[in-house]
Every structure is written in C-alpha cells, then in structure tokens.
C-alpha cells in the first residue's frame, strides 16, 4: 500500500492556495469592488483600461496555471487517502494563499507600487491589512497543515 508523502501534500496545498488566493484577489478587488487593476498604479484605469484588463487577464491565467499545477501535484500524490489528509491539504492551501498575499503585497503594492489594495484615503492601512491577512493565513494554515494526530 502506498501513502501520500507529506511533502507532496504540502506543495500541492501551497501551490493550490497561491492560485486560489490570486483568484480571490483578482475577482473581488479587481472585478467586483473595482478597487484596483493589475497595473493601475502605473497606468490609471480611467485612461488605460485596456492595458489594465490585459494585465488582469494575464494575472488570472497565471492563477489558473498555479491551480492546475497544484491539482497535478495532488493527483500524483493521492494514491491512498489517509484520515485528516483533507484538513492538512486545506491548511497548506490557506498557507499558500497567505504566501500569495505576502508576495503580492510586498512586491506589487509596496516595492513596485503598480497598484494598491484600495487607492486613496487610508491606502497604506488597506495594504498593511492585506499583508496582515497573509501572515495570519500562513501561520494558521501551516499549523493546520502540520497538525499531529491527523495521520493513521
């Protein structure tokens, strides 16, 4: 009998979580709330919507590829399911989402300034909240992903 290796579950969860976190950011902040677009810090949306829409589309394509790679990792390691494996996977997916938020927030929001979570008043507070959410997801997800007593 084969069992999934914890390393493969960890990577599958992290990659899936990063892709799903990107989708949540793109769908909620970019499309539903219209707070920013991928390059709106460099190209204001009012005058360069086409550039921003193409960049958003490429961003969503990268998120989709991340999810597909994560599913591939999951499928290749899922020879036999063990008790608690689902909770561990969800934990690592949450951690992956957190790593996405941290990378996105530090690189795109702070270092490059290509956009902010919500431009305007309290811009920094929204950016810092996004980073804090990322850290909470990393910590909580990692704890859930590493939880003992979930294996056979």
Tell whether 95 is covered by a domain.
yes
Lowest mean pLDDT among 32-36, 53-57, 82-86, 101-105: 82-86
Digit-coded pLDDT (tens) for 30-55: 999 989 988 988 998 778 989 999 99
Q: Is 0.75 topped by the overall pTM? A: no
Give the 3-state DSSP-derived string for 17-79, with helices as H, strands as E and coil as C.
HHHHHHHHHHHHHHHHCCCCCCCCCCCCCCCCHHHHHHHHHHHHHHHHHHHHHHHHHHHHHCC
pLDDT-derived band at 5, boundaries 50, 70, 90: low
Determine the structural domain holding residue 27 and report its residue range: 6-146
Number of separate domains in the chain:
1
Asked whether residue 57 is domain-assigned, the answer is yes
Domain membership of residue 152 (yes or no) is: no
């Amino acid at each position: 009998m084969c069992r999934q290796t914890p390393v493969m579950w960890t990577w599958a969860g992290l990659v899936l979580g990063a892709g799903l976190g990107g989708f949540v950011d793109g769908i909620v902040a970019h499309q539903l709330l219209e707070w920013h677009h991928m390059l709106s810090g460099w190209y204001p949306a009012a005058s360069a919507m086409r550039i921003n829409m193409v960049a958003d589309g490429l961003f969503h394509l990268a998120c989709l590829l991340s999810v597909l790679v994560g599913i591939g990792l999951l499928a290749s390691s899922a020879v036999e399911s063990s008790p608690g494996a689902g909770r561990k996977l969800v934990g690592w997916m949450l951690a992956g989402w957190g790593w996405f938020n941290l990378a996105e927030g530090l690189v795109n929001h702070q270092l490059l300034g290509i956009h902010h979570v919500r431009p305007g008043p309290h811009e920094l507070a929204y950016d810092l909240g996004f980073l804090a959410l990322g850290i909470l997801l990393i910590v909580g997800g990692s704890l859930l992903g590493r939880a003992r007593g979930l294996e056979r």
